[in-house]
Amino acid sequence: MELLDSNVDLKELQKLQGHADRVWGLAWNPAPHNCGGASAMLASCSGDKTLRIWQMGPTHRFDCSTILEDTHTRTVRSCAWSPCGKFLATASFDSTTAIWKYVGGDFECVATLEGHENEVKSVTWSSSGTFLATCSRDKTVWIWEVQPGDEYDCVAVLQGHSQDVKMVQWHPLVDVLVSVSYDNSIKVWAEDGDSDDWHCVQTLNEGSSGHASTVWSVAFNSSGDRMVTSSDDLTLKIWDTSSAISQTDTEGFASWRHLCTLSGYHGRTIFSAHWSSEGIIASGAGDDALCLFVEEKGNSIEEPSYRLLLKKEKAHDMDINSVRWNPKDQRILASASDDGTIKIWEVREIS
């Protein structure tokens, strides 16, 4: 039976406590078995300057297995796992990005990426494993190439945003990068086939049916032909590309168009949105609520549209900063909040 047609609820499975300050970001390990055979691993980063790793035990409960501290000197804002699951990148307000490697049951800091002039807001690992990208209040996006021996070379410093860049996210299938900013725009970056130069291939701003205020997050669906952005303008926007994903030339990725705007569901800034492999969009906002959306099944003549599947008011006691679906179990969702906690949820069908 298809989830998308039935009624669902969101069951709180567990509340993870331990961080001493707001939790800003979350990342599920895409290959936890490569870290000592773990069944599920969730990384969380906080204003308390630490990163915590929560591991699922035999009773299906999460326990904090590692605390990475004494490295960053300010808030750790964002974290991301490499596709192989053995490396974790942490981005901090201290203007650095640290790379941690799983070595014999522990995580060691093997590299520190420096260069941004001020706070790093986001870090993302390409699915090819070749690239990392970071972005900062310094208005730039940096692309780093992963080299053997835990070396990271900066291959591009991308200028174009006129303000603070809030988040960067690699496309799930090809090495195309999207950045979102305090300047209200969304930018798509790709490598020029001939010159290996990275440049902006598309800008989506208010004129292109884009956001009217700061864009806080971007996430792709699993097939990479849609993305969702969330904003301070209280909306979520869904974008579609008709390009064939197998195309490697840049023109294929300059064709994102606005598909749908979801408004009226959140009363405050929407800090995060994430797309499950099953196609459910989760959003978390400053109104402490968590929403789930799915594509409206309907007649194929009309433009695709999305409907609210569920709204969980007071999902947390304070702002929700991040929502992330477990890539290994598509009904499991994690949320992180200013209240210092992380919650693990399960989407269940109800009769």
Partner 1 sequence: MLSHPTLMTSTEHPYSLEELKVVSEDSIEVDDKLSHVRVVFTPTVEHCSMATIIGLCIRVKLMRSLPSRFKVDILVAPGTHETEASINKQLNDKERVAAALENPNLLEIVEECLSPSFQTWT
**Shortest Cβ distance from residue 188 to partner 1 (Å)?**
23
Partners of 55 in the beta sheet?
41, 63
**Shortest Cβ distance from residue 74 to partner 1 (Å)?**
5
Q: Based on CB atoms, which residue is closest to partner 1, 191 or 319?
A: 319
Three-state SS across 182-231?
CCCCEEEEEECCCCCCEEEEEEECHHHCCCCCCEEEEEECCCCCEEEEEE
Candidate list 86, 268, 311, 328; residue touching partner 1; CB under 8 A: 268
Residue 323 tokens read as 């929502």
**Shortest Cβ distance from residue 319 to partner 1 (Å)?**
7
Q: How far is CA 203 from CA 9, 209, 214, 253, in A?
A: 37, 11, 14, 11
Candidate list 75, 124, 202, 250; residue touching partner 1; CB under 8 A: 75
Candidate list 191, 232, 233, 295; residue touching partner 1; CB under 8 A: 232
**Shortest Cβ distance from residue 204 to partner 1 (Å)?**
20
Q: Is 266 in the site for partner 1 (CB under 8 A)?
A: no
Residue 13: exposed, middle, or buried by beta-carbon count in 10 A (0-12, 13-18, 19+)? Answer: middle
Residue 84 tokens read as 């192989």
- The CA distance from 99 to 248, in Å, is 29
Under a CB-based contact definition with an 8 Å cutoff, are residues 185 and 154 in contact? no
Q: Based on CB atoms, which residue is closest to partner 1, 119 or 295?
A: 119
Contacts of 37 (CB under 8 A, 6+ apart): none
Candidate list 19, 52, 116, 121; residue touching partner 1; CB under 8 A: 121
Size of the site for partner 1 (CB under 8 A): 24
Q: Is 119 in the site for partner 1 (CB under 8 A)?
A: yes
Q: Based on CB atoms, which residue is closest to partner 1, 32 or 284?
A: 284
**Shortest Cβ distance from residue 119 to partner 1 (Å)?**
5
Q: Is 138 in the site for partner 1 (CB under 8 A)?
A: no
Under a CB-based contact definition with an 8 Å cutoff, are residues 59 and 66 in contact? no
**Order of strands, sheet of 165-170, starting from the edge strand that comes earlier in the sequence:** 165-170, 177-181, 186-191, 198-204
Q: Is 341 in the site for partner 1 (CB under 8 A)?
A: no
- The CA distance from 323 to 257, in Å, is 24
Q: Based on CB atoms, which residue is closest to partner 1, 41 or 168?
A: 168
**Shortest Cβ distance from residue 305 to partner 1 (Å)?**
30
CB atoms within 10 A of CB 104: 6
**Shortest Cβ distance from residue 151 to partner 1 (Å)?**
29
Binding map of partner 1 across residues 280-319, x = CB under 8 A, - = no contact: ------xx-----------------------------xxx
Q: Which residues bind partner 1 (CB under 8 A)?
A: 22, 47, 74-75, 77, 93, 118-119, 121, 137, 164, 166, 182, 213-214, 232, 268, 286-287, 317-319, 338-339
